[in-house]
Amino acid sequence: MELKEIAQLLNEKHQTRELIINNARTQFDSFKERIIEFVTNLNKEPATKDFLSYKLNGDFELQLFFCGEVLIFSLHTDMFMFDDSHFVHNLKYVKDDRSRSYCCIIKVYNFLLDSFQFNRLYDVGYLIGRVFINKDNHYFVEGKRQLGFLYNDFENAEFNAVNQTRLVESCLLYAMEFDLLVPPFDEVKEIPLGLKLEQHGNAAIKTGKRLGFRFNADTDVTD
């Protein structure tokens, strides 16, 4: 391959990367505005007055607090490509322009609020969804239950204000249905003394909504 061809490929890759990352940053800013708007509007309802709050953690993360839980929306500002077996490569939309398959990712995690308030570093959170956004502002979501099947029209769906608000609602509803379960007895019957003494009280004991249960990348969270 000649140097001119390599230079052309480098230029195309650079332009694609810049376009995708800049768009993702813009859309994440918009997404944060929708989350804040959602919190403000919901807190106006008499039944849920001041139930929700949020915290901006830098430019690329927003934490949404509700009912003793936290949803963390985090933008990963790298450009990702899907493996050859992924469904996006079968779409005409992508076949017409391969660069449309490159995406940035917004990750959505669910943690317990006490994990943050009491600095319980051994506690675990759960990735409940990943939002993939390309250069055209088209998107789809990989996730649990409704997050995994409501938002998978990559060819046509745009990550606009309406869909951003719908996604916030879906994440909140899923997290509220995703309850903290008592771990199986045999999973917690032993604890090293050093672990117990490392912090006072229960802060050194690992806690998570599905601790001791499988949390697979399927649609069933009760197994």
Query: Which among 134, 43, 44, 57 is positioned nearest to 96, based on CA atoms?
Result: 134
pLDDT digits (tens, 9 = 90+) for 52-94: 999 999 999 999 999 889 999 999 989 999 999 999 999 999 9
pLDDT digits (tens, 9 = 90+) for 105-144: 999 999 988 888 877 777 778 899 999 999 999 999 998 7
Q: How far is CA 96 from the centre of its chain?
A: 28
Beta-bridge mates of residue 70: 65, 111
The reported pTM is 0.82
Residue extents of the structural domains in the chain: 3-179
Beta-bridge mates of residue 139: 133
Query: What is the per-residue pLDDT for 208?
Result: 57
pLDDT digits (tens, 9 = 90+) for 3-44: 988 999 899 889 999 999 999 999 999 999 999 999 999 998
The number of C-alpha atoms within 13 Å of 141 and in the hemisphere containing its C-beta is 25
The number of C-alpha atoms within 13 Å of 28 and in the hemisphere containing its C-beta is 27
Query: What is the per-residue pLDDT for 21?
Result: 94
Query: What is the per-residue pLDDT for 200?
Result: 57
Residue 175 in this model has a pLDDT that exceeds 50: yes
Beta-bridge mates of residue 131: 106, 141
Tokens of 101: 């398959």
3-state SS assignment for residue 185: helix
